[in-house]
Amino acid sequence: MSSTNVPAAAASSGAFSAEQKEYLQGFFAGAAQRGAMPYVGQTGSGLITADASAGGPNLAAAAPATEELWYGTPLEDLSNEERLKHDENPLDIWDKLLAHANENRAPSDADRFRIKYFGLFYVAPAQDSFMLRMRTPGGVLTTNQMRGLAEMAEDWGSGRLDLTTRSNVQIRELQPKDIIRVLAKIQSLGMTSRGTGADNIRNITASPLAGLDPSELYDVSPLAEALQLYISNSRDLFELPRKFNVAFDGGGAVSVVADTNDIGFVAVRVKEGRGIPPGVYFRVLLCGITGHKQFASDCGILLRPDQTIAVTAAMIRVFIANGDRTDRKKARLKYLVDRWGAEKFLEETEKRLAFPLIRVAPEACEPRGPVDRQAHLGVHPQRQPGLHYIGLSIPVGRFPVEQVRAVASIADQFGSGEVRLTVWQNLLIPNLPAAAIPDAQQALADAGLAWEAGTVLSGTVACTGSQGCRFAATDTKKHAVELANFLDSRFRIEQPLNLHVTGCHNSCAQHYIGDIGLMGVKVSGEEGYQVMIGGGSDHEQGLGRELIPSIRATELPAKMEHLFSNYMARRAPDESFLEFSRRHPIEELQSFCAPANLRQEGV
């Protein structure tokens, strides 16, 4: 019987015979299977089989559709910046840089982000120009590099260098037509700007007196330089989900605020009888991010100096592989460790290392030596007999090219042709023989440079502010210098005091750790500040408390004058402003800001 006869027979009789029913059951069963691919696999002995029960994948089936992922995250879930990185690697846009230069035009919004990977920031609307940020690992600059940077700033930029809170250098007001010349000049100086912006490892900071400090435990400058070279040689380390800060603290007098970094290495000494060979090691601090109100904390491991770079590389790669790429506000290392816990993070790090991580309690180590909050200014002896360094005051880091050249000449004539930048937006000239110090000081004075400053001004740092950053609500550098000079002119403050002034909640100037911390806000459309009090780092670690929620910048000096008048009148002998602020309830400190309180107390 042919299949063509079945429907006809059924139609003529109106019913199916048993034979027809049996046929149709087979026919429709085959039709039901017609969309399925036949199974073809292999048995354990390598024979080809059509029996799916034999196991193994169906080699005759199409591969299952897979969703495209970017570091484990579906593309549709990525943040805008992660999608930009996925669509075009920022390190591969050299042709676009050439086009911007040739046409003297600003970048598109997408390329505005990508160009930051070359250290170039288009900062409109604050300025219709680029800012360049360098890499100066450990804050070390040669005088030849200083002169080259001064030449760049004079020929193409604002006529000054800006020293940053990461021991670094920025040049502002660069036009698009000059950016290729700028990048070529950087390379000719033996420097780089790559990876200083966007989602990258920022400038590697280190104790500015590394190798010079009589009290240091370890010279960390080779570690900072080695990590920078490793980053430069590792393209995958430019694929972070968010920016990343690393600091090396050699245990000396000048702080590098290691506890504000994503990874902070702090040199410590282990004595005999602690279960490990005595010597100098590094403790590892994780997840400092003071803009999110968190200091780095000791993660419980102890490293030999030669292990620090390898561990850094492993930790950063764990972050690259597992950090959040959907929410920029939750993409820093802190949030990965919050999600996992520190122990899992260390376990994942250890999987990438050829050596184990040794857990050692902090109590097995000698405490870090004291930090001298004024050692970055003035004349001080070095560990090398007969040699000294001079720390110069560069208020809020603004460094005109004439003074840059003067410092380079003085460092050549009296020192060793080198300067050191600090996280306090100033610099040191090292290796001065004692006999040369008077002449060096005279040359500095002739250039309008000071190695002494008022207590407040010498401890003042400020971010770029509204003059150069579109996020800032206030002109931070102007207000910081004005307030510092105002307080220094009225009060003889003997103990160190830090004033941190930042323009927005990103807290580039780390306002939470200042004795006084200011964050720019708008007050009825005018420039103003939120005022914090009592912050500190290192052995004085603590986040500031809110003293004033918001106040106009023009009204702030009077409030601070009342506050410091009360401090001078009420302080205990030799009590610092930080100690004073921390022993008073915030309500009482707020009352000290009022003129009525001054009259009542007779101050």
Question: What is each CA distance from 329 to 76, 321, 337, 519, 520, in whole angstroms?
Answer: 18, 18, 14, 19, 20
Cα–Cα distance for residue pair 354/347, rounded to 1 Å: 13
Using one digit for the tens of pLDDT, what is the confidence trace for 384-429?
999 999 999 999 999 999 999 999 999 999 999 999 999 999 999 9
277-307 burial code (b ≥16 CB/10 A, e <16): eeebbbbbbbbbbbbeebbbebbbbbbebeb
- 262 CB neighbour count, 10 Å cutoff: 27
Strand pairing report for 48-49 and 41-42? antiparallel
Using one digit for the tens of pLDDT, what is the confidence trace for 513-551?
999 999 999 999 999 999 999 999 999 999 999 999 999
pLDDT at 602 over 90: no
| Within-domain flag for 264 | yes
% of the chain at pLDDT higher than 90 = 87
Predicted pLDDT at 363: 95
Predicted pLDDT at 16: 62
Using one digit for the tens of pLDDT, what is the confidence trace for 203-261?
999 999 999 999 999 999 999 999 999 999 999 999 999 999 999 999 999 999 999 99
Do both 352 and 214 map to the same domain?
A: yes
Do both 331 and 432 map to the same domain?
A: no
User: Structurally, how many domains does the chain consist of?
Assistant: 5
Contact at 8 Å (CB) between 263 and 346? no
Do both 424 and 325 map to the same domain?
A: no
Do both 573 and 526 map to the same domain?
A: yes
Predicted pLDDT at 596: 63
Predicted pLDDT at 12: 43
Helices 476-490 and 556-570 pack at an angle, to 10 degrees, of 40
Task: For residues 5-11, give the mean pLDDT.
Answer: 46
Q: How confident is the model at residue 37 (pLDDT cuts 50, 70, 90)?
A: confident
Task: For residues 560-571, give the mean pLDDT.
Answer: 97
349-359 burial code (b ≥16 CB/10 A, e <16): beeeeeeebee
Choosing from 198, 232, 257, the residue where a domain stops is 198
Task: For residues 361-381, give the mean pLDDT.
Answer: 95
Predicted pLDDT at 24: 58
Do both 29 and 137 map to the same domain?
A: no
Residue 266's domain comprises 202-369
Predicted pLDDT at 311: 98
| Within-domain flag for 393 | yes
Predicted pLDDT at 29: 54
Task: For residues 281-305, give the mean pLDDT.
Answer: 96
| Within-domain flag for 587 | yes
Q: Which residue has the higher pLDDT, 65 or 475?
A: 475
Predicted pLDDT at 333: 98
Predicted pLDDT at 60: 87
DSSP conformational letter for 429:
E
Using one digit for the tens of pLDDT, what is the confidence trace for 148-158?
999 999 999 99
Please report, for the domain that includes residue 436, its CATH number.
3.30.70.3340
Q: How confident is the model at residue 36 (pLDDT cuts 50, 70, 90)?
A: low
Question: What is each CA distance from 499 to 289, 484, 532, 561, in whole angstroms?
Answer: 19, 8, 10, 14
Do both 364 and 327 map to the same domain?
A: yes
Cα–Cα distance for residue pair 152/107, rounded to 1 Å: 21
Using one digit for the tens of pLDDT, what is the confidence trace for 89-146?
999 999 999 999 999 999 999 999 999 999 999 999 999 999 999 999 999 999 999 9
Mean pLDDT of the chain: 93
Tokens of 438: 């008077």
Q: Which residue has the higher pLDDT, 354 or 601?
A: 354
Predicted pLDDT at 478: 97
pLDDT at 15 over 70: no
Do both 147 and 286 map to the same domain?
A: no
Predicted pLDDT at 28: 54
pLDDT at 482 over 70: yes
Predicted pLDDT at 118: 98
| Within-domain flag for 62 | no
User: Which among 359, 417, 429, 363 is positioned nearest to 392, based on CA atoms?
Assistant: 429
Do both 186 and 271 map to the same domain?
A: no
pLDDT at 2 over 50: no
Predicted pLDDT at 399: 98
Q: How confident is the model at residue 63 (pLDDT cuts 50, 70, 90)?
A: confident
Predicted pLDDT at 56: 82
Predicted pLDDT at 27: 53
Task: For residues 442-454, give the mean pLDDT.
Answer: 94
Cα–Cα distance for residue pair 176/161, rounded to 1 Å: 19
Radius of gyration of the chain (CA): 32
Using one digit for the tens of pLDDT, what is the confidence trace for 328-340?
999 999 999 999 9
Please report, for the domain that includes residue 126, its CATH number.
3.90.480.20
Predicted pLDDT at 45: 84
> At a CB cut-off of 8 Å and minimum separation 6, what does 580 contact?
567, 570, 571, 572
Do both 263 and 354 map to the same domain?
A: yes
Predicted pLDDT at 331: 98
CA 240 to chain centre: 12
Please report, for the domain that includes residue 295, its CATH number.
3.30.413.10
pTM to 2 decimal places: 0.89
Task: For residues 572-583, give the mean pLDDT.
Answer: 96
Choosing from 165, 181, 198, the residue where a domain stops is 198
| Within-domain flag for 574 | yes
Task: For residues 587-594, give the mean pLDDT.
Answer: 97
pLDDT at 1 over 80: no
| Within-domain flag for 572 | yes
| Within-domain flag for 222 | yes
Do both 192 and 84 map to the same domain?
A: yes
Contact at 8 Å (CB) between 470 and 397? no
Q: Which amino acid is at 553?
A: A
Do both 214 and 356 map to the same domain?
A: yes
Predicted pLDDT at 53: 83
Predicted pLDDT at 13: 46
Choosing from 198, 220, 238, the residue where a domain stops is 198
| Within-domain flag for 71 | no
Contact at 8 Å (CB) between 417 and 432? no
Do both 222 and 350 map to the same domain?
A: yes
Q: How far apart are the first and last CA of the chain?
A: 119
